[in-house]
Structure 1
Amino acid sequence: MMEEYEIIASWIKPNSRVLDLGCGNGELLDYLTRTKQVKGYGLEISGECIDSCISKGVSVIEQNFDKGLDNFSDASFDMVLLASTLQATARPDILVKEMLRIGSQAIVTFPNFSHWSHRLHLLFRGKMPVSDFIPYQWYDTPNIHHCTIKDFNNLCNTEGITIVDRKVEGLGSMVSMSANLWGHQAMYLIRK
């Protein structure tokens, strides 16, 4: 997780205005506030996570971003984050476009469902895989849109979104060759 935070931080300029969608317990925003002095806000729906954010001093708004981001003006933020939440959103395509409406750039991270271990699990066991990056059974998962690296690349291409940078974690390090096969976690910096 720390390596992911360091990569995200490397893409954010100091003192940026940042919105973290699905900020969870506020750990990432807290890290960015300490390391990059960002002016950050989180959106979260879990009362327990909101309490955790408040205890860390992280500014948080109780809001279900799946119902829209109309309360934010165009270009309100320098960066909008969606960390390991894309697969749990109702309409990832619409959400990514909204992120780039309210922010100059966006960072999207997600577990790569096309990782070789998931493929083998399906092939040999015939059932949905459970792993550190996809830790739920098929019947109780919040993940409703499993995504691969190729799927996200295609979404960006279709919507005219520029991929500024991409990092893929796998095999204990960053991978570039055959990332869709070897990568278990993808991190994208995008802009319109």
Structure 2
Amino acid sequence: MNETALIIVDMVKDFTDPDGLVFYPQNREILPRIVQVLEKCREKGKLVIFLQHCNRAGKPDEKAAAMRPNCVEGTSGIEIDPMLKVNPEDYVIRKRRYSGFFGTDLDLVLRENHIKNTVIVGTKTNCCIRATVTDAFYLNYNPIVIRECVATNSETVNEVHLNDIQKYLGTVVDMKTFFEKLDNGEW
């Protein structure tokens, strides 16, 4: 049984495109590596889920109002980066908070597909990655983060959160190890 899902967090144009509202270059750097992981997971028949940050246009949202405007519905900023092809069998789940589990049906989708391992890649390690990993851990999934496939705008902050994830919440691996375990059927 296939028990592993790839969850790609918030690789949308506002974060990945140089013209995006909250762009930073680290997201462009990780995109080609995420594409490699996506292709390998598809080759192995893994479930693919795209989390798509999306703030409602013209509606109250105290959390979104406290931040720089970004990922507003109806704009190209919420579109998944074109380097990442979304297939018909993939899930695209919109979210309004850092965690992909909060206020979404992600947990239901994972349970309906008998998923135990959640491979989490994308942006921002200190916010959306960390929150999604934490909730995956609390919901008894096995969170796996691929080191070269997550980023934030500070390498120091990135490392601090990866270290915490490894110590308390899940597993952090490099791409080589991930591919080996995937090929060996461990994930």
TM over 0.5: no
Higher relative CO (CA 8 A, sep ≥ 6), structure 1 or 2? 2
TM-score (norm 1): 0.44
TM-score (norm 2): 0.45
Larger strand proportion, structure 1 or 2? 1
